[in-house]
Structure 1
Amino acid sequence: MSDHDRPAAAAGAPAGRSRGAGHSRELLLSAALELFAERGFDHTTTREIGERAGVDAALIARYFGGKTQLYLAALEAESGEGAPAGLLDEDRLRALLGRSTRRGPGPVVRAALVAHTDPALQDAAHTQLYERLVDPTRRRFAEEGVPDPELRAELAVAALAGILLARHTGALGTLAAAEPERLFGLVGELLAAVHPAPAAPDGPAA
């Protein structure tokens, strides 16, 4: 095995082992994000996560406590930092479509369509769903005086989640084969249906 191929954990010094442990943890988290996006929580096994990560699956228990805790960590990692923009923001929508095209709908998007039997998972997924997708969209609607802002925000999220999951599964062939840029334009038009244009100001009196 070349030095380039040698795992980071093979370094002999304690500091090297620490870096190797951190690297293994990141590999497991990255693999879990990919597999949870591709298959969902119930259809992903710890063995598959370990195989995708290239490390011993037993390390999931050591670093995270188990599959459930790893899923919760994946939710946090997917959510990132900072306040996200709503779905009507073009950059935000493009990023969500691009990420889903590359690796499938993430755990937060799946939470809009798939309920967990584990209450802890369901609560965490529900919280992230609202914080990352529903609430930012609702706030924009409310700021613009759009009626029923929460209902409209939930409709927008449900529509996008359904589109992303159907595209990922291939259940709708033309949708699955659509070019991302073409899809971006059409999804934008669809989401605009729940976002009425502001009323035009009255013109000058005749």
Structure 2
Amino acid sequence: MNPSDRPPFAAASAIPPAAEPRRQRADGAEARQQLLHAALRLFAEKGFTQTSTREIAQAAGANLAAISYYFGDKAGLYRAAFTEPMNCVGGDTALCNQPGLSLRQSLEGFINNFVAPLKQGELVQQCTRLHFREMLEPTGVWAEEIDNSIKPAHAALVSLLCRHLGLGEADDGLHRLAFSITGLALQLFVTRDVVSAIRPQLIAQPQAIATWAEQMVAYAEAMVGIEAARRSQTPVQLQAPSLAADRSAS
């Protein structure tokens, strides 16, 4: 076994904390990307412990030493493959929570940033598979992602919802609303293979994804409206199409 392939801790799949990033040469960007993409594919297929650095280097057409140069070690490469391709999911939600922005503008910023990685096509499918594998075979990186990215993004979304609903403090109902809005975008990542099998044109092109995101913004805005009505105990009027309209359409 290559020494760099041994699990970093006694626990077979634990990943040590991230080290300081190594300064990268400008002419090494392409080589680094090739290593990153090869590692992403292999880690998603086989997991951390069953993937060797030699195998990754060979798939990327690179020297084994390049992994140490660009990522430090196998654990650093795994962390980069796990986080970098999807690092704009959720975006900087705090920027969407500005006093001058309307509710729709805030939701547009959040949802558009969240679904932006989907425009990378096959790459994001591999990222999703790696995230699923990490949940089944945890190394600790997923827990880091929750603490460092997901919790702050959720807190920022809750904050902007509090502001637009005029609430001083978030309760369980508001957190449910925030999770539900996030779920609109998250389900595209989880069900991408299903959507591709049933209605591929919905996500086949970046413009198609943008169209779906625009529709999600409208759904999210409606959800906020329903929550506001629920809190004010005002009945929500939902207009159903008339039977005459249904017959004429058919």
TM score, norm. by length of structure 2? 0.51
State the number of aligned residues. Answer: 180
2:156 aligned with 1:127: no
Please give the alpha-carbon distance, in whole angstroms, between the structure 2 residues aligned to 1:99 and 1:173.
20
After superposing on structure 2, the runs of 4+ consecutive aligned residues of structure 1 that deviate more than 6 Å are none
2:114 aligned with 1:89: no
Q: CA deviation at 1:163?
A: 1.9
Please give the alpha-carbon distance, in whole angstroms, between the structure 2 residues aligned to 1:158 and 1:110.
19
In terms of mean alpha carbon deviation, does 18-27 or 158-167 score higher?
Answer: 18-27
2:152 aligned with 1:165: no
**C-alpha contact (below 8 Å) 2:107/2:221 kept by paired residues:** no
Q: Which residue of 2 aligns with 1:79?
A: 87
Choose which of 130, 140, 144 in structure 1 pairs with 2:164: 144
CA-based RMSD: 4.5
Give the 3 Å change call, closer, same or farther, for CA 161–173 of structure 1 in structure 2.
same
Please give the alpha-carbon distance, in whole angstroms, between the structure 1 residues aligned to 2:118 and 2:186.
10
2:107 aligned with 1:117: no
Q: CA deviation at 1:140?
A: 0.8
| Structure richer in helix, relative to its length | 2
Q: SS at the partner of 1:55?
A: coil
Indicate the percent of aligned positions where both proteins have the same amino acid: 16
2:224 maps to a residue whose letter is H
Q: Which residue of 2 aligns with 1:42?
A: 47
Please give the alpha-carbon distance, in whole angstroms, between the structure 2 residues aligned to 1:106 and 1:195.
33
**C-alpha contact (below 8 Å) 1:138/1:153 kept by paired residues:** yes
- Structure 2, unmatched stretches of 5+, are 1-23, 97-104, 203-207, 230-250
Q: CA deviation at 1:124?
A: 1.2
Please give the alpha-carbon distance, in whole angstroms, between the structure 2 residues aligned to 1:126 and 1:24.
29
Q: SS at the partner of 2:225?
A: coil
Q: SS at the partner of 2:63?
A: coil
Choose which of 10, 27, 31 in structure 1 pairs with 2:33: 27
- Structure 1, unmatched stretches of 5+, are 1-17, 200-206
Q: SS at the partner of 1:144?
A: helix
Q: Which residue of 1 aligns with 2:220?
A: 191
**C-alpha contact (below 8 Å) 2:158/2:175 kept by paired residues:** yes
